[in-house]
Amino acid sequence: MDILEAVILGILQGATEFLPISSSGHLVLVPWWLGWDDPPLLFDVVVHLGTLVAVLAYFWRDWLTLLRAGWTALRTRSMKEPDARLLALLVLGTIPAALVGMLLEDYFESSLSEPPLVAGLLLVTAALLVLAERWHTGTKPLSEMTVRDAMTVGLMQALAILPGISRSGSTIAAGIGRGLSRPSAARFSFLLATPIIVGAGLKQTLDVLIGDEVVGSDMTLPLVLGFAAALIVGYGCIWFLMRLLQRRRLYGFAVYCAVFGTLSLLVALLS
């Protein structure tokens, strides 16, 4: 892996992990378009760590407040505090994706990572974004979120195990569909992403430790640059999307997914 490839893949990971355009889809299709080999597993671990640092850096105050509220709820055995209730909803919403990831992730990655399938699933992401905007009628804040809302968003996050289905896109769409305001849906989506990114990173780290992949010393600079690119771009994309959704809709991302997915599908079928 050369430096340019590492930087481009780091940028892709940082941007597509949080923008509703599917990180898994882009990490399949872009190297396919460019004729690149799959990057080393260690590189995947490092760029995922970059996106984890990005989301924690942006939402560290939120998580500190949530964890304090959760500790207080455990001591007092009371869920009256809104932040404690939000933490419980995040735990509930994480369960579907955690179960699906543990049981089926390897199968889906090996069986459904062919470019035509991934390109087709990008079109599904585009449809989800459009439908969410067409159905959007509410401005509900996170303080009014229900268990049914959290489980619906969690189930959509589990669906994003399919390469080409955007995790952020499907969860934000589900939140909007349940009547949340766009900023509230995005905030819940990003908070919900944190434990999933942690879990995926731990699994990949374990795979590296028990595997026999050999990474030479010439990978040091690409790893550092890939991590930095994923962190910086990831943080910037969270900042951008949180502000964008205060006044704009998701149609632009739907158009992008539809165009990129259609082009990739046509090229894959013709070739």
Decide if 167 contacts 154 (C-beta within 8 A): no
Decide if 171 contacts 145 (C-beta within 8 A): no
**Pairwise CA distance, residues 190 & 93, whole Å:** 12
Q: Which of 157, 165, 118, 191 is nearest to 20 (CA)?
A: 165
Decide if 18 contacts 51 (C-beta within 8 A): yes
User: pLDDT (tens digit, 9 = 90+) per residue, 170-188?
Assistant: 999 999 999 999 999 999 9
User: pLDDT (tens digit, 9 = 90+) per residue, 83-123?
Assistant: 999 999 999 999 998 898 888 777 766 667 789 999 999 99
Ordered by start, the domain boundaries in the chain are: 3-270
Q: What is the pTM of this model?
A: 0.90
Radius of gyration of the chain (CA): 18
Which of 6-10, 41-45, 264-268 comes out lowest in average pLDDT?
Answer: 41-45
